[in-house]
Every structure is written in C-alpha cells, then in structure tokens.
C-alpha cells in the first residue's frame, strides 16, 4: 500500500517538473505528455524495485537528462519551433480543433463581406455612379460581419448584442435617410466619421464583457493597431497580385482591369478586414506585436522632425500659411503622435521605472502640442474671415479633442517622469478617452448634416 501523502507530494513534484518543461519553446505540450508518460513509468519501475517515491522521482528525473541539454536536442530536431509560426496545421501540434473551426468561420465571414459589397450592384447601384452611397455605407458591408465574428468567438449572449445592433441600425438609417447634396461636404464628413463611431461599437463586442474595464479597452487598442498593420500588409500583397495578374493577362491581350476594379479591389478590401482580424486574434500570443516595434523605430524620427520644424519656425519667424488643408494636416500630425504615444503605452511594462524612451515620448508630445498651438493660433486669428464651414468645424473639433488628450497625457507623463504618479494613470487616461472619439464622431454624423443644411 502506498502512502497517500507521498503520492500527493510526488504529484506535486511531477507538476513542477512539467511546468519547467513547458517553459521550453522547443518542447511542445505533446512532447511534454510523452516525456511525462516515460517519467511515470520509470518511477513506477523504481518504486517496484524498492525505492521511496521521492527517491524514485529524483532518479527518474536524473535519467531523463538535463533540461537544457534536452531542450537543445529538441530544438535541433524541431528548429522550426524557434520561429513562431502563425498559420500552422493545428492537427499535430496538439492545439484544439477549434483553431480550424475558427479559420473556417473567418474565411466564410470574409467571403460574406466580399459578397456584401457587391450586393447593391444587384439593385442597380454601381460603384462608378453612386460613389456617395458606397462611401456612406462602407462600414455596413464589413463591420456587422466582424461583430458576428467576435460574438461567435467570445460566445457572447444575445442580450449584450442589443446595443451594438441598435447602433448599427440607427447609423444605417441616418446615413441613408438624410437628403445629402450629391458630393457635398456633409456627406464626406459622414463617410469619414461613421467608421470611427462604429469602430468603437465593434470594440465593445471585441472586449466582450470587459469594455468597462480599462484592460479590455487597452486590448482593443492593441488589436486595432495590429489590425491596421496586417491590413496594410494584405493590401500590399493584393497590389502585387493585381499587378501580376494584369501583366500576364496583358500578354495574351486580355484586359482584366475592369474585373480588378469592380471585383478584386472592393471584395478584397472588405474581406481583408475580417481575415486581418482573424490573423491578429490567432497570432496574439504567438508573435510579437508589431505596432510597438514600429513605434520604437519611428518615435525618435518624428520627434527629430518636429523639433527641427519648431526650430525652423522660430529661426525664420514665418507664420503658418493658412491653406485649405492645413488644419487637416495638423489633425493628422496629432493623430500620428497620439498613435505613437498610444502604442508605446500599450506595450510598456507599467512597473518599469522611467527611461530615456519615456523622455523622448514627452519631447515628442510637447513638440506636437507646440506645433499644433502655432497652427491653431494662426487659424483662430483668421477663422472669422472664412466663416464656419462643416469641414472646418469638424477639423477644429477633432483638433481640440486630440489637443486635450495630448496635453493631459503630457502632464501625466511628466508627473510620472518626476516620480509623482504611477504610469497606470496615463494608461487609464488613454483608455478612458476612447469613448470621446466615438461621441464626437457620432455628433458629426448625427448633427452636422441637418445643422449645415446637408451641403
């Protein structure tokens, strides 16, 4: 008869040994299972031979060999495991079959999105003639399917879906009921702001029940950044595919450009959103996030450009030339700097002490604020001359929202650098601010068209 206490301590020891093995990248969980079977058999044989269980464990572990040497040997045989693979057949690596189901679901939803954008064409609404219709409704072809994907993936219950569904239906009504002037400003503004508002709605389903939690919103920010990068990569691949197919069909004197323009481009653009989302979800724990890497790379360069710009401005004493698009340009600058800030925040270890990169971030943010302040000053001085057009109000509103965010971020960051506050304050500020963008975008979509007479 074996002593149950000893059995328990043996199990604990085996658990510990297993967790050591699991940490080795080259040894997969199936291999751990195989080695564990070996270890248990060996222990049983040794106990039969008269050893106490813990002695048997020690001997068996010793015979198994040193972990470092073992994992080196596994790495030599399975060198591909040191390269983290994203698209892998799930059958043998011991992953659950759900990974394959997910791939099928994602591809089906992507195909549905690709078909959805061709649906209006059945009713005589063509891409060439009714560009406005497509611009206003772009979000509705793909985002509901993306929501469907997250609902499926998170196994969300129906009740939580009510608000997102209501948001989508309401937005679809507004976008199509308002009597927009053809190719007017307000139509363009709606087309631009609707996706922003709805993207945050997608975020609530992405986060599942964790939207009210700052960490859930931060995950959505990370997801958005990675999706953007994957989307750009897929778009690049799509460009190569189009160019290549155009070339080879040209060789046999067939012009496939109409097909590329009316099918490959719109269908691909829609499907890629779902496929990109699926890839980001699948890779989440497998591959390093790209957005923070790019941030590290470009934050110093942008900081250098901004500082040079400010220095040149001071040196030459030139005023900012108020051209038509200058406000938009400074909006984009703020968006960019905010993105750089956001993605470095998203990847930063909150407990780490302030470092050189943090100082650089502050320099970048303060530089952007100064540049924007100069531009705003120039614009404010002459805005009465221009009057308020919907474009200008929308751009100004966005500018103010970004300015408030960055100014407060700079303050929190400086406080952190001086050791007066935790880094998590900055993180919370950023995640709490997310709904503000959605609310502003919703205001532009809902209030601007009637306010400015649908011009």
Q: How many residues bind other proteins (CB under 8 A)?
A: 22
For residues 399 and 334, the answer to whether their CB atoms sit within 8 Å is: yes
Candidates 2, 4, 5, 69; binder of other proteins (CB under 8 A) is: 69
Query: Which H/E stretch holds residue 64?
Result: helix 53-64
**Furthest CA-CA distance within the chain:** 98
Handedness of CA 70, 71, 72, 74 (dihedral sign): positive
Candidates 11, 55, 73, 213; binder of other proteins (CB under 8 A) is: 73
The yes or no reply on residue 77 touching other proteins (CB under 8 A) is yes
Q: Which residues contact 61 (CB under 8 A, 6 or more apart)?
A: 17, 39
Candidates 14, 58, 70, 305; binder of other proteins (CB under 8 A) is: 70
Smaller CB separation from other proteins, 64 or 235: 64
Q: Binding string to other proteins for residues 1 to 30, with x set by CB under 8 A, is what? A: -----------------------------x
Candidates 9, 13, 42, 245; binder of other proteins (CB under 8 A) is: 42
Distance CA 211, CA 200 (A): 10
Work out how close the CB of 30 gets to other proteins at its nearest, in angstroms, rounded to a whole number: 8
Q: Which residues contact 448 (CB under 8 A, 6 or more apart)?
A: 186, 189, 190, 390, 393, 394
The yes or no reply on residue 76 touching other proteins (CB under 8 A) is yes
The yes or no reply on residue 33 touching other proteins (CB under 8 A) is yes
The yes or no reply on residue 37 touching other proteins (CB under 8 A) is yes
Taking alpha carbons only, the member of 448, 451, 454 closest to residue 181 is 454
The yes or no reply on residue 41 touching other proteins (CB under 8 A) is yes
Work out how close the CB of 14 gets to other proteins at its nearest, in angstroms, rounded to a whole number: 12
DSSP conformational letter for 236: H
**3-state secondary structure at position 83:** coil
Q: Binding string to other proteins for residues 78 to 97, with x set by CB under 8 A, is what? A: x-------------------
Q: Binding string to other proteins for residues 45 to 64, with x set by CB under 8 A, is what? A: ---------------x--xx
For residues 127 and 134, the answer to whether their CB atoms sit within 8 Å is: yes
Candidates 31, 358, 372, 425; binder of other proteins (CB under 8 A) is: 31
Work out how close the CB of 75 gets to other proteins at its nearest, in angstroms, rounded to a whole number: 9
**Interface segment toward other proteins; rule CB under 8 A; list 3-11, 72-80, 133-141, 253-261:** 72-80
**3-state secondary structure at position 145:** helix
Smaller CB separation from other proteins, 12 or 38: 38
For residues 176 and 121, the answer to whether their CB atoms sit within 8 Å is: no
Taking alpha carbons only, the member of 98, 135, 87, 105 closest to residue 274 is 105
* Alpha helices, H only, 65-130: 67-77, 98-116, 119-122
Smaller CB separation from other proteins, 9 or 42: 42
* Alpha helices, H only, 260-289: 265-283
Interacting residues toward other proteins by CB under 8 A:
30-31, 33-35, 37-38, 40-42, 44, 60, 63-65, 69-70, 73-74, 76-78
């Amino acid at each position: 008869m074996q002593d149950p206490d000893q059995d328990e301590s043996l199990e604990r020891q085996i658990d510990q040994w297993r967790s050591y093995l699991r940490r080795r990248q080259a040894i997969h969980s199936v291999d751990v299972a195989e080695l564990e079977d070996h270890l248990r058999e060996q222990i049983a044989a040794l106990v039969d031979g008269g050893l106490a269980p813990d002695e048997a464990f020690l001997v068996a572990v010793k015979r198994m060999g040193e972990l470092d040497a073992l994992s080196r040997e596994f790495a030599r045989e399975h060198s591909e495991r040191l390269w983290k693979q994203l698209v892998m057949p799930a059958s043998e690596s011991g992953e659950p079959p759900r990974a394959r189901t997910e791939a099928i679901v994602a591809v089906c939803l992507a195909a549905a999105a690709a078909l959805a954008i061709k649906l209006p064409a059945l009713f005589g609404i063509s891409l060439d003639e009714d560009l406005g219709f497509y611009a206003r409704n772009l979000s509705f072809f793909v985002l509901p399917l993306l929501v469907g994907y997250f609902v499926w993936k998170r196994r969300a219950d129906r009740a939580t879906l009510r608000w997102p569904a209501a948001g989508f239906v309401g937005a679809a009504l507004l976008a199509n009921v308002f009597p927009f002037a053809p190719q007017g400003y307000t139509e363009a503004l709606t087309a631009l702001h609707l996706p922003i508002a709805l993207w945050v709605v997608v975020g609530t389903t992405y986060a599942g029940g964790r939207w009210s939690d700052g960490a859930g919103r931060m995950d959505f920010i990370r997801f958005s950044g990675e999706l953007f990068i994957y989307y750009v990569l897929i778009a690049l691949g799509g460009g190569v595919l189009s160019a290549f197919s155009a070339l080879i069909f040209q060789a046999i004197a067939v012009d496939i450009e109409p097909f590329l323009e009316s099918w490959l481009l719109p269908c691909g653009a829609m499907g890629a959103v779902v496929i990109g989302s699926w890839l980001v979800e699948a890779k989440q724990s497998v591959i390093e996030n790209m957005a923070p890497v790019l941030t590290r790379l470009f934050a110093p360069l942008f900081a250098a450009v901004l500082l040079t710009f400010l220095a040149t401005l001071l040196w030459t004493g030139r005023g900012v030339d108020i051209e038509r698009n200058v406000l938009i340009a400074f909006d984009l600058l703020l968006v960019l700097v905010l993105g750089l800030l956001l993605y470095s925040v998203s990847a930063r270890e909150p407990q780490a002490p302030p470092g050189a990169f943090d100082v650089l971030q502050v320099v970048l943010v303060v530089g952007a604020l100064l540049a924007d302040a100069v531009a705003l000053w120039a614009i404010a001085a002459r805005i009465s001359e221009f009057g308020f057009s919907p474009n200008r109000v929308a751009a100004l509103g966005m500018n103010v929202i970004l300015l408030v965010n960055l100014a407060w971020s700079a303050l929190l960051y400086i406080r952190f650098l001086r050791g007066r506050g935790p880094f998590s304050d900055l993180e919370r500020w950023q995640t709490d601010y997310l709904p503000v963008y959605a609310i502003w975008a919703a205001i532009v979509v809902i209030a601007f068209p009637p306010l400015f007479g649908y011009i």
